[in-house]
Amino acid sequence: MRLIFIAVLILLTGCAGQTRPDADARAEARQQYDKALAEMKKGDPIAALPLARRAATLDPSNARAQELLALLYQQNGQGVLAATAFEKALALNPTSASLLNNHANFQCHQKRYAQAFESFDRAANLPGNAHPEIALTNAGLCALRSGDRAVARNYFQQAIELRADQPVALYQMARLSLEEGNPVAANSWLEQFLNHYPHTAKTLLLGARIEHRLGNPLGVADYVDKLRSGFPSASETAQAAQLMKSAGGALPVASGGSVFGRDWVSARDPEHFTVQIASAPDRQRLEALAAKLQTSENAIFSINAGGATRYILVSGDYASFDDARNALIQARKTFPGSRPWIRNFASIHNFLPR
């Protein structure tokens, strides 16, 4: 299991002074730091490392440069150098929540779990920390890494108490509940996630696993259908299809829709949301469903799903997730027993034929 910690990259607000370099050196250090940060954001830590090293050398009192250097050493697998850079950064700015969080992540990766939990707790309890739920969620991920599921659950619950829409904590609570043999609780946590965010390939696979544990092959098939239409090339799609085979289920043929087509979908703002009503291998079934929709803007379009054409019916164009969620509630009333879901247009655009 690969656990992705929430990094707080950017970064510190103040720098305690020691022996101060001259103004020119500080200015050049800031320039080198900015360049290093830009390279890191582009995903090129190799290019960022010498720039960050130069910034820290020019201005040893720059805590931001020391922290960035520590993160880059960590990514490069240079644990001893990372530890030294973190120590220097903490000496310069011991009350930075982001720095404490990043240092705790480093300690966890070094399997220094007790020290990591202490650092996470310090970050979470630091006065003025606007996002203590990040440190608590990372502490939960660290506990999973250490093999202590009870501690992980406790940290995730604390994070959710502070922020009910913390996505990583909600997802992990759903996953833990399922693995502990409680699919009903897992489904409840997943629903709480979906009250705030659209499905991802990971949450769709988790939903399929929950339905499989509940003994509901139609539910599994519905999630497989969503994965095939929304994420046809994702590894989660193949994993969910294997669940359907093991349950002996067959993917039910879905229904139909109308009005606009691919051009309308292509023209939508990628940041906007829509409600996917259904998908099917033939367009006519979707057109029958579309005739029942109250929404003024609906569309049917096709994608290539594993070498086969599949048609998708979506309804509405919503600038906010809350508006899309209200439309989802109405769609469930219009089609009781179905499972429409929220998507953003960016995810749809990725799979449209060019």
CATH of the domain at 141: 1.25.40.10
**Can you give the three-state secondary structure of 104-122, one letter per residue?**
HHHHHHCCCHHHHHHHHHH
Q: What was the pLDDT predicted at 121?
A: 97
Tally of structural domains, the chain? 3
- Token digits for 14? 């103040």
Which domain CATH number covers 294?
A: 3.30.70.1070
Domain around 219 = 168-247
Residues 158 and 27 reside in one and the same domain: yes
φ/ψ (deg, to 5) at 341: -150, 160
For residue 337, the model assigns a pLDDT of 80
Last residue of a domain, one of 165, 186, 219: 165
| Domain final residue pick, 192, 215, 247 | 247
For residues 196 and 321, the answer to whether their CB atoms sit within 8 Å is yes
Per-residue pLDDT tens, the chain, 354 aa: give them.
555 566 555 443 334 444 556 788 888 989 999 998 999 889 898 999 999 999 999 989 889 999 999 999 999 899 999 999 999 999 999 999 999 999 999 999 999 999 999 999 999 999 989 999 999 999 999 999 999 999 999 999 999 999 999 999 999 999 999 999 999 999 999 999 999 999 999 999 999 999 988 888 888 989 999 999 999 999 999 899 888 776 555 444 333 333 578 888 888 899 999 999 999 888 888 988 888 887 778 899 988 877 788 899 999 999 999 989 999 999 999 988 889 999 999 999 988 876
pLDDT at position 20 is 55
Q: How far is it, in rounded angstroms, from Cα 205 to Cα 348? A: 18
* Residue 2 maps to a domain: no
Same domain, 134 and 185: no
DSSP 255-283: -B--SB-HHHHHTS-TT-EEEEEEEESSS
SS3 4: coil
The verdict on 35 and 56 lying in the same domain is yes
| Global pTM value | 0.73
| 222 in a structural domain | yes
Q: Is residue 108 part of a domain?
A: yes
Mark whether 110 and 181 lie in a shared domain.
no
Query: Which pLDDT belongs to residue 140?
Result: 97
**Amino acid letter, residue 89:** A
